Amino acid sequence: MTSRKFAVGLQVSGNPPIGLARALLLYARLIRLDSVLVADHFQGFIPTALWNPEFSWAAAQFSNPHESFDFQLLLGYLAASAGRLRLGVGVTEPIRRHPVLIAQTMLTLAHAIGRSPILGIGAGERENIEPYGLDFSTPVGRLEEALQIIRRCFSQSGAIDFEGQYYHLVGATMALRPPKGRLPEIWIAGHGARMLRLTGEYGDGWYPTLVTSPSDYAAKLAVIRAAAQKVGRDPAAIVPALHQYIVVAPSEREARAMLATKVARFAVLLLTSHEQWSQLGREHPFGENFRGYVDFLPERYDRKTLLAAVAAVPPELLGSGLIWGTPEQIAEKLRAYGDAGLRHVVLDLASALISRRAALYGIVAMWKIAVLLKRGS
């Protein structure tokens, strides 16, 4: 296996208290991470029907799993403390927010921090769209138009005219320019064929979550690079990134035990599709059309249904969508993705929800993982 060095980032959920987000950012600076990305949600993925101390220790500390800060204000709050960290959103979408507003937010952030901001953007998640009366019927088509507009906002200071199916701009000006060397980067959260094509055509980076293996990552990255080359873009200039949930413990035995907890089993429900279940001769509890977390509506299910779904996760799928183990094992598994092309991994500490001990250990383990990845050993 090739020795590779990584850029390493931290994903921050953006839940109260706001001081926690700042503390995590300062810790990221202390251990010399490269980036901090914040989430953009109206509500979280964990249903209130499950939110109790039996499910997660955090339920005794935080009364509601759906409390979420506005990512724009949160990034503004964090900017003064960022130092040399790259800040960004991971991820937003152009259904709740107009693409010109998204562009203005990122251009503003470029003035507030010392490095290029990261605009993580995707087609959206059903939980943030449908309950609020918004249209989720053609999210990829809307995203494609939004990417064209955002690109023009980043590069064109004069008036913009745009006539699309979803957006109409006439003499629209976005004159704000970023400081030299701080043009925001667009990282596209895509998994399907059309999203991979859009990443190649418009993205400065690729920021997936639902990849099943290093070979799956390599195959999707090849599609992106081919799409970039087809439109005359440099495929090597697109940053292959990854948003990765991790379950980390001092020993493999303890990490393996964590995979059987309700929190970890619930994560598997959202990080696997019906297709993966059907390969085992099982039906996904959320239906044959379920594609994973993008289709999940947390408040549409009662407690009995959710607990039955958690219990139904087959042993063969425990840990799916997660990278788990000791810090050394996690770093080794991520190096396999490095051989598949990965250059910037953003870690999301899923095991922090399992217990207070797991949360505290995970903070220390984050430093260990980053050291191992950054030195390429």
Q: What is the mean pLDDT of each successive set of 10 residues along the chain, which is 377 residues long? A: 78 95 97 98 97 96 94 98 97 98 98 98 97 96 98 93 98 96 97 97 97 96 98 98 98 98 97 94 94 96 97 96 98 97 98 97 97 82
Contact 370, 8 (CB under 8 A): yes
Instruction: Using alpha carbons, select from 119, 125, 118, 153 the residue that is nearest to residue 139.
Output: 125
- Cα–Cα distance, 3 to 1 (Å, whole number): 7
Predicted confidence at residue 3, as pLDDT, reads: 57
- Cα–Cα distance, 37 to 179 (Å, whole number): 21
Predicted confidence at residue 325, as pLDDT, reads: 98
Predicted confidence at residue 5, as pLDDT, reads: 80
Label residues 289-298 b or e (16+ Cβ within 10 Å = b).
ebbbbbbbbb
Provide the β-strand partners of residue 10. Answer: 36, 347
- Label residue 270 left, alpha or beta by phi (over 0 means left) and psi (-120 to 50 means alpha): alpha
Rg for the chain, CA atoms, rounded: 20
Q: Which two tokens stand for residue 226?
A: 């081919």
- Cα–Cα distance, 226 to 242 (Å, whole number): 19
- Cα–Cα distance, 176 to 184 (Å, whole number): 12
Q: Which two tokens stand for residue 245?
A: 């949930």
Identify the residue whose tokens are 């979420």.
68
